[in-house]
A and B are shown apart, each in its own frame.
Chain A
Amino acid sequence: MLEKNFDVAVVGAGHAGCEAALACARLGFETIMFTVSVDSIAMMPCNPNIGGSSKGHLVREIDALGGEMGKNIDKTFIQSKILNRSKGPAVHSLRAQADKSEYSRSMRKTVENTEHLTVRQAEVSELMIEDGVCRGVKTLAGTVYHTRAVVLCTGVYLNSRCLVGEMITHTGPNGLQAATHLTDSLLQNGIRVLRFKTGTPARVDRRSIDFSKMEEQFGDERVTPFSFSTDPEDVQIDQVSCYLTHTTEKTHEIIRNNLDRSPIYAGIIEGTGPRYCPSIEDKVVKFAEKKSHQVFIEPEGRYTNEMYIDGMSSSLPEDVQDAMYHSVPGLENARIVRNAYAIEYDLIDPSQLKSSLEFRDISGLFAGGQINGSSGYEEAAAQGLIAGINAAMKLKKQDPIILDRSESYIGVLIDDLVTKEMMEPYRMMTSRAEYRLLLRQDNADLRLRKYGYQAGLISEAEYRATIKKEKQIEEEVNRVKSTYVGETDAVQSLLRSLQSTELSSGSSLAELIRRPELNYEVLSPIDPDRPELSESVREQVNINLKYEGYIKRQIRQVAAFRKKERKTIPENIDYDQIGSLRIEARQKLKKFRPSNIGQASRIQGVSPADISVLIVYIESKKGTVNR
């Protein structure tokens, strides 16, 4: 039997696996990353974009922590846009169309050229777990890899099967080999496993599409990069277009007439599907009153003719798909390159994880990405990064890096995964972030660079630059607040020119900035002492002043939130000892084993009274310390 030694094994080389492996290797640990196919590193098997509402926030956060996704998409995007630009800064979201194969190739290049990182094509079939400690993995070929930590990033490959109507293939996405052994090993080690489903639409040949029947969609004139370290000038490229069309009554009729042949409606699919990206069958059934749904036609890359049919994922049989797509204006003669399909896969119940993404009962075993019940490239990468960082922290014998809900979307994502009952694949949404005014994509660096630096993925120089930026913002905000202007001609004529009411008495610049029609930039003519500041500092000054009331309110709420989060629950607490807990609460607490009172109070089925009981119990066990 062949045996090898590594510090860390990462199982899977998708978006989670790459971030996990890069983090561990960059922190100096000998890391091996397994994949069923080296050609599928960082593959994008579904939508051809990175970012979007709330997902763009995740990418920015990954970047601030020292992850790779933002840098990689900046190198490989073919169109970019800020969504919700007319809304508040908290919901501005960057979204880029990726050149899929370039994205994958570029990430592969990064991975293959990172020191301490080994890529290995092999199916991991077994976890080596002894006495609650994970000591390595074994591959299907029988080789044993002794490691000190293992990060599972298996995506949708565990026991996956793809469905196109009656046709079922036991493969991962795009016909890639499924991983059919690891689930058994998980179960043997007492890990609870769930089954989900998701799906993807068809791809069609660009040459067969009549774009004259569609509306062309352009990228932003000036592109904003994802990464804080990308030079904005480097992303001003020639962009490609997307196209907008829609389903018709005929489309819906075809679908309704063939519902009995859909594996979901025929009951063949057992996994739970996501509500946020419903198949076109689901849309037609659930929103029967809607006569038409939007369909976006998006290029899969610069060097391919494949176009992605965004809005029409399906698991109907091939002949129905053919008829259905042909009923869409502009797709009458479309030639399908790849079928739409649904995919079912095994995942672990994430309530078994700690907020560090380590298994609570198996030391040294971590999990990140779709295996934890999330969906989306960005959600996966975010978890992979945190799981990787924390595997490394463990080997360094340091405390894990845990981001909370008040400082990041990543914190919201992981906290939701480990405290909620997973009923369907989890997608990030801005409404899930209670303190979203503070968690903006524009300030991810200010929020999170310190953690990246603490982990060792952000350099001293980058960290210092962030501190300096923070200071500049603070100083400028204070200066603007204490700078007053009177009813001078210069002031009044500027206000007039901006359609703003003239002053009747003196005002601080800050008060003027709060007017909806004004902002920091436009007031520069009446602010002669304004220092020279970078665009990103000016942006922060404007946001902080303009929305100060709301921001302050959320800061107060965060202070209350943090107090509960700081109140830790001992890891060895025995909930059966607390007789006064209601049965439902006790079962939930035993299942999720929250690490603090705040987390406990977010578990559904735990009432405020149960929390009071818990607090009294914890205090009573602490003994006389506080007395």
Chain B
Amino acid sequence: MDVQEETIAAISTPPAEGGIAIIRISGPDALEVADRLFIGKNGKKISDQKSYTIHYGMIAEPVFDRSSDQTDLFNINRDQRSNDHAPGRMMIDEALVSVFRTPHSYTGEDTVEINCHGGLLPARKILEAAVHAGARPAEPGEFTKRAFLNGRIDLTQAESVMDLITAKNDFALRSSLSQLEGSLSKKIDEVRNCLLHETAFIEAALDDPEHIDMSGHIGDLRRTVIGQMGKIQSMIDRAESGQMLKEGIKTVIIGKPNAGKSSLLNVMTGEDKAIVTDIAGTTRDVLEDRINLSGITLRLLDTAGIRKSDNEIEKIGIERAKMHAKDADLILFVVDSSVPLDENDQQILRLIEEKKAIVLLNKSDLEAVVTKPSLQKLTCAPVIQISAKNHEGIDEIESFIRKMFFSGEMRVNDEAIVTNVRHEKALEDAERSLSYVLKSIDEGFPEDFYSIDLMDACDALGRITGQTAGEDLINEIFSSFCMGK
């Protein structure tokens, strides 16, 4: 399998503010990739070091030989030379770098582990630098897969290796963590569709030259490509500043009106973000804030109380609440223990059946009408007694959330970071392919060459949105161009 010939990188520690983070690079070029990043205290290169040794130094942005990239259009593997003395080279962090030579590493391949300062930023920057230096962001579960294929994990573990790969990919796919921010995914689609259309035009004309004529179109194509490159560049800028993904566990607070949802939001975030009144139905829109629980980011969403309402504005708020609950990673269902359960509560109980959820029996400061045992009979989700007003039970919520997301192999934020870096790389690939189109146009290559690079660009963008270009192109050809016979 060719993947094993590629060198991959990912963050391999659960992220935590403070402590250390480890970036793992594995594959045949792992040591060379590290050389391009690492400036050793003693001036030695990583690739000259023995296995099982640790080295102190600085991690810096890799140095590219840009000029060679420009002159040799087709040299995909850019000549990336390590140049310690390059002026203005950006330092990222100081680090300890461990060397494991094949076969004595977790994956069985040459592996380098970069131990840097904890927190998300240094880890992300180093991962990005490793990708610029020639590594590919690892797919979910890929380190484990390689370890297995290289005989480092016992055959009897095959089942769990497969489960892990599926679970991690599922998680990466479904969880809102790796979901593209809405407007961005729309932008990517727009660029991709535009490029697909241009390709389809060329291909339709090649397939049916007697019916479809593209003479005089090249000037338009050139302008279109430049325009789309600009859009991709602005997306790359956003990706570099880490705005691409909505990071954090999407945690939606729901419950019927006046159950204390907004109070809970305020308690958990430590700010008075939501307006809290005794009037049921105060929150009409969705409020959002982020909190950090021992290194896990929660995107906390307070929603309108769910009940039957005739008020148009409140109705919209309720619909939004339900919509958010549907794609939440975690639901916090707030129940008012001082009033009996009603049909609104029943409806929410059904809503959370298939989701990760915690039921919060609020208002433990008041006399209880609904008790913990009676509620527990109605749901599989854990039930916790709290008083948002008195800040009681909040620690317990946090510890439950930690347990839910840290038990097992599921690591949350690092997966999101790798996804982010993966997307950034895909955008860069797309941009480079488009630069080839321009070059081919300017050098007078015939039209059929443009569509090769246009398709590569579509494929790169499709890696972000999970689409493959082949059938999409054929569909675009047939739907936009009238073929002959």
Contact = CB atoms under 8 A, between A and B. Distances in A.
- Most chain A beta carbons < 10 A, residue from B211, B444, B483: B483
A430 B207 contact: yes
B333 interface: no
Given A87-B446, A550-B449, A612 B206 contact: no
Contacts of B170: 582, 609
B163 A88 contact: no
A437 interface: yes
A616 B158 contact: yes
Contacts of A607: 169
Interface string A265-287: 00000000001111000010011
Contact of B485 (A86, A313, A420, A437): A313
Contact of A88 (B139, B209, B445, B468): B445
Interface stretch (A36-44, A248-256, A288-296, A344-352): A288-296
B2 A296 contact: no
Contacts of B1: 563-564, 567, 597, 615
Contact of B141 (A552, A563, A612, A619): A612
Contacts of A497: none
A626 interface: yes
B351 interface: no
Contacts of B165: 580, 609, 612-613, 616
Interface residues of B, number: 53
Contacts of A580: 159, 162-163, 165-166
Contacts of A612: 139, 141-142, 145, 165
B203 interface: yes
B76 to A, nearest CB: 7
Given A278-B482, A437-B452, A53 B151 contact: no
Given A430-B206, A564-B1, A623-B155, A549 B148 contact: no
A604 interface: yes
A84 B213 CA distance: 11
B211 A294 contact: yes
Contacts of B163: 579-580
Contacts of B155: 620, 623-624, 627
Contacts of A290: 482
B484 interface: yes
Interface string A588-622: 00000000010000001001111011011101100
B221 to A, nearest CB: 14
Contacts of A318: none
Nearest to B470: A432
Contacts of B161: 616
Interface residues of A, number: 66
A563 B6 CA distance: 13
B451 interface: yes
A581 B158 contact: no
B209 A310 contact: no
B478 interface: yes
B90 interface: no
A581 B165 CA distance: 10
A507 interface: no
B76 A83 contact: no
A287 B481 CA distance: 8
B397 interface: no
B473 interface: yes
Given A275-B478, A579-B159, A619 B446 contact: no
A54 interface: yes
B446 A549 contact: no
B367 interface: no
A581 B166 contact: yes
Nearest to A554: B452
Nearest to B4: A563
B485 A277 contact: yes
Contacts of A522: none
Nearest to A585: B166
A278 B446 contact: no
A432 B475 CA distance: 12
B482 A627 contact: no
A373 interface: no
A516 B445 contact: yes
Interface in A396-437: 420, 429-432, 436-437
Interface string B151-187: 1000100110111011011100000000000000000
A91 B448 contact: yes
Given A87-B206, A567-B1, A616-B148, A277 B448 contact: no
Contact of B474 (A47, A429, A609): A429
A578 interface: yes
11 contacts: A88-B448, A278-B482, A429-B207, A431-B206, A550-B74, A581-B166, A609-B166, A613-B166, A615-B145, A619-B148, A619-B149
Shortest Cβ-Cβ A-B pairs, 3 listed: A516-B444, A620-B158, A609-B169
Given A276-B483, A294-B484, 6 more contacts: A88-B446, A90-B448, A275-B478, A429-B477, A604-B471, A623-B155
